[in-house]
């Protein structure tokens, strides 16, 4: 079941995101940061347990980022990550957003979700506000990808 996150999900989201942050695949988040941005998060729930999450962070009237996409190891490869991305994209469409980007090392996954690689410099500078927390800053090894949405 896919749904918007609730405050009771903070600990599970924290554990998921930071599991992958320890591997250098996601930026780490504190429980406080997750609480602050809980409205951005959606989760996948199986048998009452959170097994995946993703966040849609809005930057302006036309642009948002999908971030913190994480699925528990034992549930990977079953389409849950794509379902979470699609859930975020549908939310973005409903809000009238025209572009959604990601900063990622998972090019193939996001290509399968319809994203295309773009030059990082084409994104507004304010999207880099979280990069200062990355241990690889300023030598970023992620690629920027974008998806253009059709909205009414």
pLDDT tens per residue, range 69-121: 999 999 999 999 999 999 999 999 999 999 999 999 899 999 999 999 998 77
Q: What is the pTM of this model?
A: 0.90
Non-local (6+) Cβ contacts of 27 within 8 A are: 21, 67, 68, 130, 133, 134
Confidence (pLDDT) at 137: 58
C-alpha to C-alpha distance for 26 and 52, rounded to whole angstroms: 14
pLDDT tens per residue, range 27-43: 899 999 999 999 999 99
- 144: pLDDT strictly greater than 60: yes
C-alpha to C-alpha distance for 95 and 88, rounded to whole angstroms: 11
Confidence (pLDDT) at 91: 97
Q: Which domains does the chain possess? A: 2-148 (3.40.630.30)
Confidence (pLDDT) at 24: 86
């Amino acid at each position: 079941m896919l749904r918007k996150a609730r405050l009771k999900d903070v600990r599970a989201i924290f554990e998921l995101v930071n599991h992958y942050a320890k591997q250098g695949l996601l930026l780490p988040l504190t429980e406080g940061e997750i609480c602050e941005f809980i409205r951005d998060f959606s989760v996948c729930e199986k048998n009452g347990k959170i097994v995946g999450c993703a966040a849609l962070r809005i930057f302006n009237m036309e642009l948002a980022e999908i971030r913190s996409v994480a699925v528990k190891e034992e549930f990977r490869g079953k389409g849950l990550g794509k379902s979470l991305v699609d859930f975020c994209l549908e939310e973005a469409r409903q809000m009238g957003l025209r572009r959604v980007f990601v900063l990622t090392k998972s090019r193939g996954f996001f290509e399968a979700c319809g994203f295309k690689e773009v030059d990082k410099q084409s994104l507004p500078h304010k999207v880099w506000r979280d990069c200062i927390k990355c241990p690889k800053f300023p030598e970023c090894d992620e690629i920027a990808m974008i998806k253009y949405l059709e909205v009414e």
